[in-house]
């Protein structure tokens, strides 16, 4: 067994949700009177906690408008937008295979809120896949490593026995700050050359490659 603990990012790594996030953030920005935000700018901040994402997207935004943008984003994501979100093909079978080893633990470290992650766990039926999870609103946003530190403590795993998997530099830099192994996946939002700067131990270009490598 290569790792006792495998930690996944959610959006862009397990779930194909970038289009939904982009559409909802653009609608929220219009609602808040901030104006148009480009697809590329929004894709760049996927993975951060929502307050941190808004601060980066909208430099100088005042607190009142920032809060309005946050609330409108939540509205659109939960109720107002119907852009489909699905697991990337092969994810469900791949995670099931990892769970087949009793000594292995699986976890999620995400920029989502706890409320948002629990909702998608329920809707997708995936909550039982994971032994633990951390969200940006109950700890600190990526790339700060606090959520990984907490997962290691909760699950009783040393950093050398764990790996972080993600599609953004925020995921990889979070792990790098702890000296944790990290795997980049290229089907998400950040370009391969950007991910390479964080020196991943492996870069997966397709979902089967990721799970094959983990199961060697």
Q: Which residues are catalytic?
A: 9, 11
Opening angle at CA 123, ends 117 and 128, nearest 5: 70
Per DSSP, which regions of the chain are E strands?
Answer: 5-8, 15-16, 86-87, 105-110, 132-135, 162-166, 181-185, 202-204
Helix count and strand count (H, E) for the chain: 10, 8
The CA distance from 34 to 124, in Å, is 33
User: Going by C-beta distance under 8 Å and a sequence separation of 6 or more, which residues neighbour residue 63?
Assistant: none
- Strand 181-185 to strand 202-204: parallel, antiparallel, or no bridges (unpaired)? parallel
155 sits in the region (left: phi over 0; alpha: psi -120 to 50; else beta) called alpha
- Strand 162-166 to strand 132-135: parallel, antiparallel, or no bridges (unpaired)? unpaired
Q: 63-75 and 50-57 helices cross at what angle (nearest 10)?
A: 120
């Amino acid at each position: 067994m290569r790792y006792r603990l495998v930690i996944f990012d959610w959006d862009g790594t397990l779930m194909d949700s970038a289009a939904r996030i982009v559409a909802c953030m653009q609608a929220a920005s219009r609602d808040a009177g901030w104006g148009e935000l480009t697809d590329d700018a929004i894709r760049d901040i996927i993975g951060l906690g929502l307050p941190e994402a808004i601060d980066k997207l909208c430099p100088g935004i005042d607190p009142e408008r920032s809060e309005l943008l946050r609330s409108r984003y939540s509205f659109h994501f939960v109720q107002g937008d119907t852009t489909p979100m699905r697991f990337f093909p092969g994810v469900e079978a791949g995670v099931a295979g990892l769970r087949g080893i009793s000594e292995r633990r699986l976890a999620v470290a995400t920029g989502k809120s706890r409320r948002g992650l629990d909702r998608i766990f329920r809707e997708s039926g995936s909550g039982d896949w994971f032994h633990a999870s951390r969200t940006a609103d109950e700890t600190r946003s990526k790339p700060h490593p606090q959520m990984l530190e907490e997962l290691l403590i909760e699950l009783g795993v040393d950093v050398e026995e764990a790996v972080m998997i993600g599609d953004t530099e925020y995921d990889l830099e979070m792990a790098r700050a702890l000296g944790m192994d990290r795997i980049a996946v290229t089907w998400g939002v950040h370009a391969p050359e950007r991910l390479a700067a964080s020196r991943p131990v492996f870069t997966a270009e397709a979902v089967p490659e990721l799970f094959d490598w983990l199961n060697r």
